[in-house]
């Protein structure tokens, strides 16, 4: 293994003196410049000159529409008791059939009662909405994957569905396949 040439005492002292010399030079320069105004970098002046040189013509500026922005300092104070987002709701769109059925007033009240962090408010609202099946929340299936299980309670009764002993269930076989042999299920051995 080769020896490191910087590991001897002479080289270590050299590096130590170099670092100290540089630190001293920086402190002297700082002390000399203390109290004086610093010069601004010339790069900003170059950028400013480039922007002024590339300014659009007056003819182009006259063709542009005027800038009309509402001042931000005259905003109304928010009313935190009002439901959020009502001022942004569009009322000019006519809706023939709503996608989702309206929420019952009891569940809607739970939304505005308390905070999620306390286990109230939105937390309770979402738990209650999650407990309902899609047929109760929607008038029709909104996506194609819902069509497979839509109105399953009409086909199979709740009493017929029992919790299986080992986690397997024959719902697809009982509801999807037919007994008359059209889909190839009549010859299946159970």
Give the pLDDT score at 93.
Answer: 46
Q: Other CB atoms closer than 10 Å to residue 110's CB: what's the count?
A: 21
pLDDT grade for 70, boundaries at 50, 70 and 90 = low
Whether the CB-CB separation of 100 and 143 falls below 8 Å is answered with no
Within 10 Å of residue 125's Cβ, how many Cβ atoms? 19
- Reported as a single tens digit per residue, the pLDDT across 87-133 is 554 554 445 556 888 888 988 898 888 888 888 889 999 999 888 88
Output DSSP code: residue 37.
Answer: P
More confident residue, 164 or 51: 51
Cβ–Cβ under 8 Å, residues 127 and 142 = no
What is the rounded distance in angstroms from the CA atom of residue 88 to the CA atom of residue 72?
18
Residue-wise pLDDT tens digits, 19-65: 999 999 999 888 888 877 777 677 888 888 888 888 888 888 888 88
- Residue 17: band (very low, low, confident or very high) from pLDDT cuts 50, 70, 90: very high
**Residue 114, burial from CB neighbour count under 10 angstroms (0-12, 13-18, 19+):** middle
CB 112, CB 106: distance < 8 Å: no
With 0.85 as the threshold, say if the pTM is over it: no
Two tokens, residue 82: 């009002």
């Amino acid at each position: 293994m080769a020896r490191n040439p910087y590991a001897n005492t002479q080289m270590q002292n050299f590096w130590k003196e170099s670092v100290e010399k540089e630190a001293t030079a920086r402190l002297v320069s700082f002390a000399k410049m203390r109290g004086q105004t610093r010069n601004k970098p010339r790069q900003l002046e170059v950028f400013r000159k480039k922007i002024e040189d590339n300014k659009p013509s007056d003819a182009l500026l006259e063709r542009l529409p005027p800038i009309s922005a509402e001042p931000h300092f005259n905003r109304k104070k928010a009313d935190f008791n009002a439901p959020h987002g009502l001022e942004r709701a569009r009322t000019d769109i006519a809706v023939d059939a709503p996608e989702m059925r309206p929420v019952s007033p009891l569940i809607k009240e739970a939304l505005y009662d308390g905070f999620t962090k306390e286990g109230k408010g939105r937390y309770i609202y979402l738990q209650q909405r999650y407990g309902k099946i899609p047929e109760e929340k929607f008038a029709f299936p909104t996506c194609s994957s819902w069509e497979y299980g839509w109105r399953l309670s009409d086909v199979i009764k709740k009493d017929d569905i029992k919790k299986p002993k080992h986690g397997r269930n024959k719902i697809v076989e009982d509801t999807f396949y037919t007994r008359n042999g059209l889909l190839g299920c009549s010859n299946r051995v159970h």
